[in-house]
Each structure stands twice: as structure tokens, then as C-alpha cells.
Homo-oligomer: A and B are copies of this chain.
């Protein structure tokens, strides 16, 4: 019997977790999912996540794959896992995929969103998912400045220390900043992102929106490869990994292996 490769789509509230990736002495989302999956499969299981979200970062559409020899029907995994997982981690989808599909290396496109609560005193209902910035932000100026990120650039200046990427060239497909009442939201889509890149972009935009950094800060930092031309890394809790795509043009992927 061949193994099936199953790709999960997960959402989680990252507040209580030390990030996605397994680590000593702290509870990660990966560890929690592996624990429950192992209980269901009655054998130790490992899963491979698409994105190593940091401590406190949330996910609406994280992906992770695993291989199984079990006879559990694919569409039963969300029910079985959700019945045992804590409510701040939910499995929203399970699909059988080609065993050549790798959750991390096959990803073509990722979207992140960064939420800012831009009122004088924070709203208790958004405090888990938004960074609080009490000073008024000019969202239109932020949006215009962010357009300088679009395209293929060497984003060396946009990487936190500890990044291990071989190349720092990334392609940003689209970026927008929009205000809706007191909430300002950054949406950014690209082929891949460097370590802390979105939080550095968000932190820079917050400064641009208060005119503490010039509107061409991104262009300057790209040209000079200088981290010091950018703003601080924005808090983890405002960041949500929104979606990951594996096929060009939409969010589809094979639901059944083409192999026998």
C-alpha cells in the first residue's frame, strides 16, 4: 500500500503559542498538531509546515503536509483533529495531493495581512489581532509609499538578523494599505518573504504614516541595502499569514494524486 500525502489548511490564534515550529521548552502549533495527529494515527507523526510563523503571529491559511498509511478518509481529518485540538487551532481543510507537492517548497504565492488599531485607546476586541498605534496614520500615504515594494527587488535590508536565506531577492506581487474606520490594514502578496520582512514593512509603514520616515524609505532601503533606513519591526500580534497558493492563478491544488 502506498502512502497518501495529505495537505492540511489550518487557522490559528497565535497568542498562546511560541510560533509554528517545534522548539524545546515552549509549545508550538506544530507540536500541538503533531500530538493530536499522532493520537489519531496511533503512531508518531511529523508534519511539514509551509511557513514558520513567529511567536504570536496568527494564521488564517497555514498549510502543512504529512504522509500516512492509515485508512482514515481524507475528508474526515478536519473533524477528527478539531475534536481533539484546542479551539485556537482549527483544521479547515484536508486534501490528498501528489506526493511531489511539498507544503513549503512548492508554495508559489503567500499573502500576509497586518492589522493596526488606529484609535486613541485600543479596542479590547481587536487587541489579540492588531497592533495599537494611537497616533493618526495617513493610510493613503502609506499605500502610495508601499507601491515602491512591488516587483522583484533585493530585499537584503528587510531581513532580521537570524535570516538564513541564500538569496535576498523576492518578488512582491501586490500591496495595499486601507483604512476602515479606526482599523488600518496592510495586505501584501509575494512569492516568498524573508525572516520578519512583513513586520519590518509594517513597522516602516507606521512611521511613514506619521511622517517620521520619508515616503521613499522603501526605495532608499532597497537601493542602499540598509536596514537602518527602515522602521522598527512591528509587533507580532498584528500579523496574520492569510493564504498560501500552490497553483498559478488561483488557490487550487490537485485533490487526488495523479499517481496510482
B240 and A125 within 8 A (CB): yes
The answer to whether B121 touches A93 (Cβ under 8 A) is: yes
Per assembly, the copies of the chain total 2
Q: A121-B78, A121-B82 are in contact. Are A90 and B240 (CB under 8 A)?
A: no
Interface residues in A65-85 by Cβ distance below 8 A to B read 78-79, 82
Q: Which residues of B contact A124 (CB under 8 A)?
A: 10-13, 58-59, 87-90
Q: Is the CB of B123 within 8 A of A92?
A: yes
User: Are A123 and B91 interface neighbours, CB within 8 A?
Assistant: no
* A78 nearest CB neighbor, chain B only: B121
Residues of B within 8 Å of A91, CB to CB, are 121
Query: Is A60 a contact partner of B123 (Cβ separation < 8 A)?
Result: yes
Q: Which residues of B contact A82 (CB under 8 A)?
A: 121-122
23 residue pairs A–B, Cβ–Cβ below 8 Å: A10-B124, A11-B123, A11-B125, A13-B124, A13-B125, A13-B128, A58-B125, A59-B124, A60-B123, A60-B125, A78-B120, A78-B121, A87-B124, A87-B127, A88-B124, A89-B124, A90-B121, A90-B122, A90-B123, A90-B124, A90-B127, A91-B121, A125-B240
15 additional contacts (CB under 8 A) given A11-B124, A89-B124: A10-B124, A11-B123, A13-B128, A58-B125, A59-B124, A78-B121, A79-B121, A82-B122, A87-B122, A87-B124, A90-B121, A90-B127, A92-B119, A125-B129, A128-B128
Residues of A within 8 A of B (CB): 10-13, 58-60, 78-79, 82, 87-93, 119-125, 127-129, 240
